[in-house]
């Protein structure tokens, strides 16, 4: 899932940012979420460190509830997130060198007073290239929308009973894909294994295999009993090697 997280204490500029992002994403026909905050409070932190998918931050440097640079530092150093895109958007152009010199891996520093619309579009273009290239993803079309789910977020994929579609369970929710389990499996890489005619698992997300109970437990504490007898030994070996 693609997530845009904007922190801005000017309500008019915040509204404009949402409009710009919505207009830009109309060209992609892709699922995304927009989160808005007027300060760096507990709600912002919950989303910032949450496992919700790929994140693109647009952070104001100065708000009544904290600093965008401090927030960027927490994202990188405290939450250990060196993957998400961070863009600083501010009217305080004098902070440019301080921001870019802090080794926070900022994508850009945008001055609200200097051709802001163009710079935001350029930042979105760079962010989308990162999103497309950084991680392998499962891409498919469903209900006239293009979906892209990074392999690393997929926990398992299960065939829906009496249906021609499958359920993709991820670290942040579930989605449907209108394909058979066999066809989905062909789109995945070696971190995945088909352990039952109705179940594919991501080996990276397996916490435990209870052979006695025929139970595979995932790292989010969800589990499945869909483990074929002739797949147990191979699964145990692959999880042991993978670990």
**Cα separation, 105 vs 97, whole angstroms:** 13
Note whether 173 and 122 are same-domain residues: no
Q: Specify whether the CB–CB gap between 223 and 215 falls below 8 A.
A: yes
**Cα separation, 45 vs 187, whole angstroms:** 34
pLDDT at 106: 85
pLDDT at 53: 82
The answer to the question of residue 35 being in a domain is yes
pLDDT at 102: 66
pLDDT at 114: 81
pLDDT at 83: 85
Range of the domain at 158: 153-242
Strands (E), the chain: 2-7, 32-37, 54-59, 62-63, 66-67, 85-90, 108-111, 137-142, 145-150, 154-159, 166-170, 173-177, 192-196, 199-202, 206-210, 215-218, 223-224
pLDDT at 220: 93
pLDDT at 174: 93
Q: Which CATH number is 167's domain given?
A: 2.40.50.1020
Note whether 115 and 206 are same-domain residues: no
* pTM (2 d.p.): 0.60
- Domain count for the chain: 2
Given a cut of 50, the residues of the chain with pLDDT beneath it are none
Q: Which CATH number is 38's domain given?
A: 3.40.50.2300
Q: Exposed e or buried b for every residue in 90-108, given b needs 16+ CB within 10 A?
A: bebeebeeebeeeebebbb
Please provide the size of the chain in residues: 243
pLDDT at 178: 95
Note whether 51 and 102 are same-domain residues: yes
Strands laid side by side in the 192-196 sheet = 173-177, 166-170, 154-159, 199-202, 192-196
Give the CA distances from residue 200 to residues 97, 168, 206, in Å, rounded to whole numbers and listed in that order.
Answer: 48, 9, 12
**Cα separation, 3 vs 52, whole angstroms:** 8
């Amino acid at each position: 899932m693609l997530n845009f997280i904007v922190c801005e204490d000017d309500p008019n500029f915040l509204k404009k940012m949402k409009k710009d992002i919505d207009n830009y994403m109309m060209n992609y026909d892709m699922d995304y979420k927009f989160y808005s905050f007027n300060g760096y409070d507990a709600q912002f932190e919950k989303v910032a460190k949450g496992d919700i998918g790929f994140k693109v931050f647009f952070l104001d440097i100065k708000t009544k509830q904290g600093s965008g640079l401090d927030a960027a530092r927490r994202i990188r150093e405290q939450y250990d997130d060196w993957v998400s895109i961070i863009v600083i958007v501010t009217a305080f152009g004098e902070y440019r060198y301080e921001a870019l010199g802090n080794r926070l891996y900022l994508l850009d520093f945008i001055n609200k007073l200097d051709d802001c619309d163009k710079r935001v579009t350029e930042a979105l273009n760079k962010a989308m290239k990162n999103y497309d290239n950084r991680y392998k993803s499962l891409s498919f079309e469903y209900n006239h929308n293009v979906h892209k789910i990074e392999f690393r977020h997929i926990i398992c994929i299960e065939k829906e009973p009496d249906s021609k579609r499958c359920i993709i369970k991820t670290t942040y929710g579930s989605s449907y894909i209108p394909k058979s389990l066999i066809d989905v499996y062909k789109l995945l890489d070696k971190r995945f294994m088909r352990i039952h005619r109705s179940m594919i698992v991501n080996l990276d997300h397996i916490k435990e295999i209870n052979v006695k109970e025929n139970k595979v437990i995932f790292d989010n504490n969800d589990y499945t009993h869909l483990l074929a007898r002739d797949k147990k030994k191979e699964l145990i070996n692959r999880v042991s090697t993978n670990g």
